[in-house]
């Protein structure tokens, strides 16, 4: 059994694979960072699943990563922490300093190229940040954008404006609001949709045509309903990237 772990700023996502070459990674689980402790790791790796290899990607600090590595060493489990690099499996980073590209973006690029090889691809990761990465049909990363995610946009506006008072709401829409809560929430979504449309135009200027637009991240399902653009939602995109590091 192989355990793939994606550690974000607030939550850990993980998936267990029986088959190294599985084409469909499902049953992705999520837990808050503070609950991903030694006992939880032990239950995942030994008690339930007899894990033989652990592959980790993290954008969080080392406080959550180091115990996983130590656990694997103590229990003779193969351990790999993935870092962004110059190239992997035909994908070439466009960053002048490849290590500065976020590992979550790097893995999403690899995962996208693995699923749709030899196509021009725009990868959108809509989470705490909304990121865009363009990959051409040779596997060359052509750069990207980083924007605030929906919740980050909302919180930043309220934290930095004394007289704007709003509440979060569950309904997602783009209409002009008749109260401040609707004004703020709807505009955060509208700004992101507008940026997606602009990213597609920019990608087409640079590559001529984009065969595939792939979106992942917590806000992705909602965004696919708000645009007229055909986007492929892949929840496990980062995990398809992690899968490429199985030894």
Point out the residues that are catalytic: 104
Does 125 count as an annotated binding residue?
yes
Q: Residue 12 and residue 96: Cα distance in Å, rounded? A: 29
Check whether 128 is labelled as a binding-site residue: yes
- Residue 189 CA to residue 173 CA, distance in Å, equals 7
H or E element that contains 64: helix 62-74
80 known member of a binding site? no
Answer yes or no: is 7 a known binding residue.
yes
CA 87 – CA 114 distance, rounded (Å):
13
180 is in an annotated binding site: yes
Find out whether 66 is annotated in a ligand binding site: no
Is position 175 annotated in a ligand binding site? Answer: no
User: Tokens 């001529």, residue?
Assistant: 208
Q: How far apart are CA 131 and CA 214, in angstroms?
A: 12
Query: Is residue 223 within 8 Å of 192, Cβ to Cβ?
Result: yes
Beta bridge partners of 144: 133
CB 240 within 8 A of CB 111: yes
Confirm or deny that 6 is annotated as ligand binding: yes
Residue 95 counted as an annotated binding residue:
yes
| Structure-block tokens of residue 76 | 């003779």
SS3 131: strand
Question: Both tokens of residue 242?
Answer: 């992690």
Contact predicate 233/100, CB 8 Å: no
Per-residue DSSP letter, 48: I
CA distance linking residue 124 with residue 96, whole number of Å: 21
Binding-site positions for substrate read: 95, 102-105, 180
Query: Residues marked as binding?
Result: 6-13, 95, 102-105, 125, 128, 180
Binding residues for K(+), as ranges, are 125
Annotation: binding site for ATP: 6-13, 128
């Amino acid at each position: 059994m192989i355990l793939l772990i994606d550690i974000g700023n607030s939550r850990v996502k993980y998936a267990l694979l029986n088959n190294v070459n599985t084409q469909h990674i499902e049953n992705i689980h999520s837990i808050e960072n503070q609950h991903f402790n030694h006992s939880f790791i032990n239950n995942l790796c030994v008690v339930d699943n007899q894990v033989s290899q652990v592959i980790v990607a993290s954008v969080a600090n080392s406080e959550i990563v180091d115990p996983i590595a130590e656990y694997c060493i103590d229990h003779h489990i193969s351990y790999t922490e993935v870092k962004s690099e110059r190239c992997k499996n035909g994908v070439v980073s466009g960053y002048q300093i490849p290590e500065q590209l976020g590992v979550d973006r790097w893995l999403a690029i690899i995962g996208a190229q693995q699923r749709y090889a030899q196509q021009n691809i725009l990868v959108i990761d809509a989470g705490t940040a909304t990121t865009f990465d363009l990959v051409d049909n040779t596997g060359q990363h052509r750069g990207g954008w980083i924007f605030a995610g929906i919740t980050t946009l909302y919180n930043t506006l309220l934290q930095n404006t004394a007289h704007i008072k709003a509440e979060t709401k569950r309904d997602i829409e783009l209409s002009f609001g008749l109260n401040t809560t609707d004004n703020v929430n709807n505009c955060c979504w509208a700004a992101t949709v507008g940026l997606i449309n602009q990213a597609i135009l920019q990608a087409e200027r640079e590559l001529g045509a984009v065969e595939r637009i792939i979106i992942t991240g917590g806000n992705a399902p909602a965004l696919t309903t708000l645009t007229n653009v055909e986007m492929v939602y892949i929840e496990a995109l980062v995990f398809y990237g992690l899968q490429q590091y199985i030894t």
